[in-house]
Chains A and B, each alone.
Chain A
Amino acid sequence: MSKHLLKFTVNGKDHALVVNSHDRLIDVLRNELGLKGTKEGCSTGDCGICAVLMDGKLVNSCLIFAIQARNRKITTIEGIGTAEEPHPIQRAFMKWNASQCGYCIPAMILAAKDLLDKNPNPTMEDIKHATSGIICRCTGYLKIFEAINTAAIEMKAESK
């Protein structure tokens, strides 16, 4: 089975590593780079939990072979904020206690980032659509929507 040299950027850092043809992006992020913030749910593209940003767009990392991410820029939840310096979206999630079991939260936050980067004034409908591909099995959607709405308001205020 062929091996490939994968060169790509993850959270602003350049990487070059050898991957198998059949390695998925999520496998490389979690197992090679140790970025365990990206979670695996259904592995079939139904739940959206494994979402990361690729060149700024939300994608499912279980439905991409690692080598297909060559020359791309990947952002995982680790690239969004830290415990010491959380991103405004993460602060809003904390404020609303929007995380229950927490498993879907990295994907929800990345979906929110993708939305707010493109549309700083989202309606509730926009927020629902932006997160519609991600299943929260705790069914805690309302606080997640509210948190993203709050994040939008606060990010706008901060940018002024």
Chain B
Amino acid sequence: MHRFDMFVPEDLEDLLKYVDSHQSGVHVIANGTDLINRIQRKQVTPKVLADISGLNELSYVRKEGDKLKIGALTTISELISSPIITKHYDVFREVAAKFGGPSIINMATVGGNICSASSSEDLLPVLLVLNAEVRLRSLRGERTTTVEEFLKGKRATALKHNEILVETIFRELEPASTCSFDKVGMRNSLIIAFVNSAVYLKLAKAGRLVEDIRVAFNRVNGKIPQRARHTEEKLRGMKLSEESVAETVRALKHELKLTSDFRVSEEYRVDVASALFKRMLNRCSEKLVGERGIV
């Protein structure tokens, strides 16, 4: 194991002071499910780890006005058992079911998933289609940016050395809208996805007209989770039908610029992405038609 010092802050202020006075070499560790592996493989070689796992003030799920706010240290288990995460937000339960076994979802945090910024982080497509934002704090103040802007590349984020991601925020889903998540990997538990993806769908009150749609995959063009905007454009304003969906799938195949790797080939990824996209669209429209009386 690589050798490092551990800084254990008393509270968030203490942590912010510490990272502000250290230019480099400090890496924040939450519950460690991702980072400890990367330290063991020497992909990350911190001089100091700042351990935030004890900062309970960052663990919460709240509703404020029409916004939902999730503290960075909230675990996936805590998220899906929160009363705020009602049936309307079952998308998070769809994520948890394929995220990992209990010993992982009891530890992996929402903030950690965002800051890890890789194509294997299952929450990212969901947060992208929810147009979620992240709130970043430093000793000097705070700023809010979208998750999309926050993700700069594989394992690269907009976080500055003196900033801490404290929460993620998204607007409440309107009654006529819903989200779905799906993923394919080698097994159901503890697996890095070949493809993971999310869809947000809003239908007009009548006629199955797609009022709004957002689609995100773990890889669209390159290795970070992104929206598939051309695909969205294709379906926006259209009536949801077998033909329009088939046409949109063709657009998706065109838009995806994927690569083969040791896990799976490019062709297989594109096929799986298309199948998942159709499946999620169906699931979303069934939810809206079945539960919310859209015809």
Please tell me the size bucket of the interface on B.
20 to 34
User: Which B residues are CB-close (under 8 A) to A68?
Assistant: 29, 31-32, 51, 53-54
**Contact indicator B189/A132 (Cβ below 8 Å):** yes
In this assembly, does B294 line the interface, its C-beta being within 8 Å of a C-beta of chain A? no
**Contact indicator B106/A59 (Cβ below 8 Å):** yes
**Contact indicator B103/A1 (Cβ below 8 Å):** no
In chain B, what residue has the closest Cβ to A71? B54
Cβ of A138 to closest chain B Cβ, rounded Å? 17
In this assembly, does B36 line the interface, its C-beta being within 8 Å of a C-beta of chain A? yes
User: Which B residues are CB-close (under 8 A) to A60?
Assistant: 33, 103-104, 107
Given A4-B8, A64-B31, A132–B101 Cβ distance below 8 Å? yes
Segment 1-54 of B: residues with Cβ below 8 Å from A: 1-6, 8, 29, 31-33, 36-37, 40, 49, 51, 53-54
User: Which A residues are CB-close (under 8 A) to B106?
Assistant: 57-59
Number of residues on chain A facing chain B (CB within 8 A)? 33
**Contact indicator A67/B189 (Cβ below 8 Å):** no
* A1, A62, A64, A111: the one within 8 Å of B102 (CB): A111
In this assembly, does B259 line the interface, its C-beta being within 8 Å of a C-beta of chain A? no
User: Which A residues are CB-close (under 8 A) to B49?
Assistant: 21, 65
User: Which B residues are CB-close (under 8 A) to A133?
Assistant: 100-104, 189-190
Segment 41-71 of A: residues with Cβ below 8 Å from B: 43-46, 48, 51, 57-60, 62-65, 67-68, 70-71
In chain B, what residue has the closest Cβ to A64? B32
Cβ of A3 to closest chain B Cβ, rounded Å? 10
In this assembly, does A30 line the interface, its C-beta being within 8 Å of a C-beta of chain B? no
User: Which A residues are CB-close (under 8 A) to B107?
Assistant: 59-60, 63-64
Cβ of A46 to closest chain B Cβ, rounded Å? 6
CA distance A62 to B103 in the complex (A): 11
Most buried by A among B3, B6, B37, B97: B6
CA distance A134 to B104 in the complex (A): 11
In this assembly, does A73 line the interface, its C-beta being within 8 Å of a C-beta of chain B? no
User: Which A residues are CB-close (under 8 A) to B40?
Assistant: 43-44
In chain A, what residue has the closest Cβ to B2? A22
Cβ of A115 to closest chain B Cβ, rounded Å? 8
In chain A, what residue has the closest Cβ to B106? A57
CA distance A75 to B106 in the complex (A): 15
Cβ of A52 to closest chain B Cβ, rounded Å? 9
**Contact indicator A67/B32 (Cβ below 8 Å):** no
In chain A, what residue has the closest Cβ to B51? A68
In this assembly, does A24 line the interface, its C-beta being within 8 Å of a C-beta of chain B? yes
In this assembly, does A130 line the interface, its C-beta being within 8 Å of a C-beta of chain B? yes
In this assembly, does A31 line the interface, its C-beta being within 8 Å of a C-beta of chain B? no
In chain A, what residue has the closest Cβ to B41? A44
What per-residue 1/0 map shows which CB atoms of A1-37 lie under 8 Å from chain B? Answer: 1101000000000000000011010000000000000
**Contact indicator A63/B36 (Cβ below 8 Å):** yes
CA distance A44 to B41 in the complex (A): 10
In this assembly, does A146 line the interface, its C-beta being within 8 Å of a C-beta of chain B? no
Given A45-B33, A64-B32, A21–B4 Cβ distance below 8 Å? yes
User: Which B residues are CB-close (under 8 A) to A132?
Assistant: 101-102, 188-190
What per-residue 1/0 map shows which CB atoms of A102-140 lie under 8 Å from chain B? Answer: 000000000100110000000000000111111000000
A-B contact pairs, 14 of them (CB 8 A): A22-B1, A45-B104, A46-B190, A58-B103, A64-B31, A65-B6, A65-B32, A65-B51, A68-B29, A68-B53, A70-B54, A114-B102, A129-B101, A134-B101
